[in-house]
Amino acid sequence: MCTDDNARALILLLGVPEPSAQLRRMMRVYMRFIEDAALPGGGFHNRRDAFARWTDRIGSDDSQGRAIWALGNVVSHAREPALRRSALDLFDRQGFMSPSPRANAFAVLGAVEVLAAVPEHPHASRLIRSWAGHIVVRSDPSWPWPETRLAYDNARLAEALIAAGTALDDWPMTNDGLRLLDWLVGVETRDGHFSVAPVGGWAPGETRPGFDQQPVEAAAFADACARAWFATGDERWRDLVEVAARWFLGGNDLDVPMYDVETGASYDGLTPDGPNLNRGAESTISGLSTMQKAVLLEL
């Protein structure tokens, strides 16, 4: 069990417009896990064993960022005042900093949600600027990416800049995010479908398509392109959310479904020989969140 997956699941459920009583109970379970993971001085454990013992001193930078992202969504979207208060209290205790642009991107997305729910929140505003400042778009138009190679959850970096710029009314920052997302779409599109970076990442000169491709990549594209559409009203971005959804339904390099429409489960990866038939939490949540976004945009 890990904070990562509980944060992902909590964000997914908070996006359900009319959650049932069962889903609300599940939200409280996921939130309780994150509360239990919280360290007194800020930060979170990530991994807990079957005996409810934490197996790490502190979680990875990515898990810290995702926990903050989930807390922000609770502050912004939870219906229960007690959950919102608990989430805001935990958020206010965080001073997380990381050299990883990806971890900072996750945290930005959480802080933006806090600022949407609590305008003029000084801690959220400061953290957005600080975290977004670690996502540096390069001036080289052929490779503006903040890292020397694509890794995973790539579109989150662009989404974070778009979200931060919109929240802070900082158009240059928003424009940097849009430019980065536009470049990423170009790099990761083949014959009208997304051909996302493989699990080992990608850099210029390496073979494409690459395998194994992960559902989290298509999900990140769906969220980032939806964010771009809300920021600009440009229908191209809305159309690209549909391209991301189609990746799960067979619009990918092998023309095979990665999402089971009957159960809602997603396969763990697209290998050279077809889907990896495991159906883990990250992959399933990625598929569900992408379909959720497609429904939201009435695609």
- Tens digits of per-residue pLDDT, 12-63? 999 999 999 999 999 999 999 999 999 998 999 999 999 999 999 999 999 9
Sorting pLDDT into bands at 50, 70 and 90, what band is 120? confident
Q: Is the pLDDT of residue 182 over 90?
A: yes
**Could you tell me the two tokens for 268?**
């763990």
Sorting pLDDT into bands at 50, 70 and 90, what band is 72? very high
Mean pLDDT value across residues 258-268 = 95
**Could you tell me the two tokens for 58?**
């502190």
Give the span between the Cα atoms of 177 and 161, in whole angstroms.
5
pLDDT of residue 216: 97
pLDDT of residue 61: 96
Domain 137-299 has CATH 1.20.58.1030: no
Task: List all residues 6 or more positions away from 49 whose beta carbon is below 8 Å from its beta carbon.
Answer: 1, 55
Per-domain residue ranges for the chain?
A: 1-134, 137-299
Sorting pLDDT into bands at 50, 70 and 90, what band is 10? very high
Mean pLDDT value across residues 185-213 = 95
Q: Is the pLDDT of residue 165 over 90?
A: yes
Q: Note the pTM of the prediction, 2 decimals.
A: 0.96
* Arithmetic mean of pLDDT over the chain: 96
Tokens 């959480």 belong to 110
Q: Is the pLDDT of residue 299 over 90?
A: no
Mean pLDDT value across residues 234-240 = 97
pLDDT of residue 196: 97
Cis peptide before 153, with omega less than 30 degrees from 0?
Answer: no
pLDDT of residue 215: 98
Instruction: Using CB atoms within 10 Å of the CB of residue 261, give its burial: 0 to 12 exposed, 13 to 18 middle, 19+ buried.
Output: exposed
Percent with pLDDT over 90 in the chain: 96
Cα separation values, 49 from 53, 186, 250, 257, Å: 5, 42, 36, 33
